[in-house]
Structure 1
Amino acid sequence: MEKRIINPWTWQDGRDYAQAVEVKNVESTLYISGQTAIDDNGISSNDDMRTQISKALENLKKVILQADFEVKNIVRLNIYTTNHEEFFNNFDVFQNWITEHQIQQTTTAMEVKTLFETLKVEFEATVVK
């Protein structure tokens, strides 16, 4: 798999995403449903945004590894949140996770009216190998 990052500017670098990602010679593509802060028993979290971001990213990583893909090969990562301000006040959790896994991905962040039950954030990803 070959991955090329396209960034006509430099301002997005501090926000940990790419304007575009070209992928060639892909062996396989994994499309992941939105991952949230739901525990192993299917119970939705009542925790704060910071805790839910961490748990949702943990669940995303678990799905990727279970599918025998690498987290660093996320090429698209969409974010749905019920509160943009609260999400971006805790953005460092997301940025640290992106940096830890050396991900360069396209991202769209959207505020939505509601998510399932008590959930505040959801991550939807596409991963390649």
Structure 2
Amino acid sequence: MNTSTPTTARINPSTWNAPFRFDHAQLRPAPREVLTIAGQASVDDDGRVLHEGDVAAQLSLAVHHVEEILARVGMTLADTFSLTIYTTDIAATLAAYEALTERLDAHDATPPAALVGVAALALPGLAVEITAQAGR
């Protein structure tokens, strides 16, 4: 069941956020189930970092991993009600942000989100990690 139905109220007191495909807030009906997704990054099935030095490729693969987890429980990015994108390079991540927005656009998803600059991530060579919460 997709939770981005007409019953979801998108709350945006300003519009600067629109190009980044997130709402300042959303008022949704209470979900029956909540999926919490741990940090997803540009790693292979053995946890080895992929695309070191390529923030766009890392962002794309991290989003792909989030989508894979959502799909395993019959959800999409439209069911996501919160995203946090952690990065060691804000400027490079913003330059590559289309890797995320094109996926959000495909599902007409605008979950409240935060882009957070950090000194380092869990594995050397990682530049991006995404956590998410979804519900239905």
RMSD between aligned residues:
1.4
Q: Is 1:65–1:71's contact at 8 Å kept on the other side of the alignment? A: no
Query: Which residue matches 2:104?
Result: 98
Q: Establish whether residue 128 from structure 1 lines up as the match of residue 135 from structure 2.
A: yes
> Which runs of 5 or more residues in structure 1 are unaligned?
none
Q: Establish whether residue 73 from structure 1 lines up as the match of residue 95 from structure 2.
A: no
In the TM superposition, residue 73 of structure 1 has moved relative to its aligned partner by 0.9
Question: Where do residues 21-40 of structure 1 align in structure 2 (5 Å cutoff)?
Answer: 21-40=26-45
Q: TM-score, normalised by structure 2?
A: 0.87
Please identify, of 104-113 and 10-19, the stretch whose mean Cα deviation from structure 2 is larger: 10-19
- Equivalent residue of 1:54, what SS? helix
Query: Which residue, 109, 117, 123 being the options, matches 2:124?
Result: 117
**Equivalent position amino acid for 2:129 in 1:** E
Matched residues in 1 for 2:102 and 2:75: separation?
A: 20
How many residue pairs get aligned? The number is 129
Please identify, of 40-49 and 28-37, the stretch whose mean Cα deviation from structure 2 is larger: 40-49
Q: TM-score, normalised by structure 1?
A: 0.92
- Equivalent residue of 1:34, what SS? strand
Q: Is 2:20–2:97's contact at 8 Å kept on the other side of the alignment? A: no
Deviations 1:38-70, CA, capped at 9 Å, x for gaps: 112221122511111111111111111112322
**Larger % of strand: which?**
1
> Percent of aligned pairs with the same residue?
22
- Equivalent residue of 1:79, what SS? strand
